[in-house]
Structure 1
Amino acid sequence: MSVFAAVFAAFAHLVEHLADLIQPLFGATAAAAAIVLFTALVRLLVHPLSRAAARGQRARTALQPKIAALRAKHAGNPERLRKAVLELHTEEKVSPLSGLLPGLCQLPAFFLLYHLFSNTTIGGETNGLLSHRLFAAPLGDRWADALGGGGVFGPAGLVYGGLFVLVAGVAFFNYRRTKRLMATSDPVAAASNGEQVPGLGALTKVMPFMSFFTLVTVAVVPLAAALYVVTSTTWSAVERAALYR
């Protein structure tokens, strides 16, 4: 057995064990509840990075007047401006990439769930996790399977409908919040010559709608991975509202 296969097998046993522990409370949906609990644990572990990202965002906001002064000072020298901005970030101990770390650290957990519920065998054994369900929807199925098995208003289709409503609500909350943040800041950066960076204006307009892309993810990945996305996205909305208030 390869190292990756061993890791996937160990993770499968962990999820099954956790599901067995909480089965008296959640019954047939114990595996789905275990995935939600696993997601919450991952987010708790990543929370220090999220707090650091929030501090970094506040620090970057505080640096904007100094960056504007550097932009004016080195208006005719883009390379000198780039170095000056990097030196400023280093001096103030501010990392432009700190906001990416919480999301990057969650990718392995998402990949584990996606792999587990996309394969009929794990470590040479039948994948028993595929027999678990969230109400009427198998955790290894996708929205297309639900549509083919009973349509939008079939038992599995209604489960997905509930997830879509929840994700849409969280996405709308994030959309409103992003619009408010962008309205109180200067979202359009300028190049060293004072002109707007090409393409940044269009990106700024699209940015508030990015949270709605989660709906596409929920529709195309296995239901178990979709549960991870829904739980993590909801956690992020609450966490960011608290950290960036």
Structure 2
Amino acid sequence: MDLFSFPPLSTTLDSAYAVLMGLAALLQPITGGASAAVAVVILTLLVRTVLIPTGVAQAKADQTRARMAPKLQVLQRRHKNDRECLQRETMKLYADEKASPFAGCAPVLIQAPVVGVIYALFLHTAIAGHPNDLLTERVFGVPLGASLIGSLGGGSLSLPVIVVFGVVILLIVAVAEITRRLFRPEPTASGSTPGSEGILRLVGVLQFGTAVAAVFVPLAAGLYLLVTVAWTLAQRLILRRRFPIEPSIPQT
């Protein structure tokens, strides 16, 4: 069952669709046939702007988590054979630090409904009982509703499809590589644990998951992903300066 068939969600999705198509209509005299694609980019920027407070909250949570990490390691060593005591002392530490163990989850939960509506705009061929005309709009001859894997499987793969998706995916990969290099997780100062190097490599590989997703989603969603990862990188760079994470110093 499609959740967006329920009246409240259907109305919300239809409103978002009206805003997006209205924006495309306003841009049409300036951007011509690419107006819908430009509207997707602008809508993405607007959404990311609205979600800036969640990014700030996440940066603060990361800073707090890094500050508390050495103290948590001490508790884990001290009470490794007493799980109940470890849990009690851990909660006391969070209370003393005026922090919450769930602080990093809140920004994700807040973003989920907004991102869900945006993705639905790009994935549903019909919205509130009418066709989703956004998906029939084209950029450089490629429909915004087309996907690379769908074109390949349907036998409609063409040079414009290869070029447009190739540019989008390569740009996402480039941003992912920059993000991986700038925000590479470091092993804890107390020494590496068994399997820690493998975990760090896995975290690096996961940076490229968005590029893989772009192969399967419609072009409109691919543009959304590209703008989102670029925005996220810039935002993280700015917030890391505002909320720096100091290297963990192991405590005894």
Alignment TM class, shorter chain as reference: 0.7 to 0.9
Aligned to 2:165: 160
Contact 2:48 2:228 in 1 (8 A): yes
Q: Distance in 1 between the 2:42 and 2:55 partners? A: 19
Match of 2:231 among 228, 235, 240: 235
Aligned to 2:186: 182
Aligned to 2:246: none
Contact 1:50 1:99 in 2 (8 A): no
What SS does structure 2 have at the residue aligned with 1:244? helix
Tell me by how many angstroms 1:33 deviates: 1.2
Q: Distance in 1 between the 2:144 and 2:236 partners? A: 29
Give yes or no for the alignment of 1:121 onto 2:121: no
Contact 2:27 2:35 in 1 (8 A): yes
Task: Output the aligned Cα RMSD.
Answer: 2.5
Report the CA distance shift for 1:126/1:71 in structure 2 as closer, same or farther (over 3 A). Answer: closer
Q: Distance in 2 between the 1:200 and 1:80 partners? A: 26
Aligned to 2:48: 43
Report the CA distance shift for 1:12/1:188 in structure 2 as closer, same or farther (over 3 A). Answer: farther
TM-score after normalising by structure 2? 0.82
Q: Deviations over 1:139-183 (max 9, x none)?
A: 1111124443234xx11221001001100101101111232x415
Contact 1:136 1:159 in 2 (8 A): no
What SS does structure 1 have at the residue aligned with 2:123? coil
Q: Which runs of 5+ in 1 are unaligned?
A: 190-195
Aligned to 1:109: 114
Aligned to 1:142: 147
Q: Distance in 2 between the 1:63 and 1:40 partners? A: 34
Q: Distance in 2 between the 1:187 and 1:52 partners? A: 28
Tell me by how many angstroms 1:201 deviates: 5.6
Aligned to 2:202: 206
Contact 1:188 1:204 in 2 (8 A): no
Q: Deviations over 1:100-159 (max 9, x none)?
A: 4444433333332333333332222222222212222211111124443234xx112210
Partner AA of 1:239 in structure 2:
Q
Tell me by how many angstroms 1:200 deviates: 5.8
Report the CA distance shift for 1:103/1:39 in structure 2 as closer, same or farther (over 3 A). Answer: farther
TM alignment of 1:2-41, pairs within 5 A: 2-41=7-46
How many residues are paired up?
A: 234
Match of 2:221 among 213, 219, 225: 225
Contact 2:151 2:157 in 1 (8 A): yes
Aligned to 2:249: none
Report the CA distance shift for 1:106/1:175 in structure 2 as closer, same or farther (over 3 A). Answer: same
Give yes or no for the alignment of 1:69 onto 2:57: no
Q: Deviations over 1:89-110 (max 9, x none)?
A: 2221223333344444333333
What SS does structure 2 have at the residue aligned with 1:28? helix
TM-score after normalising by structure 1? 0.84
Q: Distance in 1 between the 2:165 and 2:33 partners? A: 17
Partner AA of 1:150 in structure 2:
L
Identity of aligned residues (%): 31
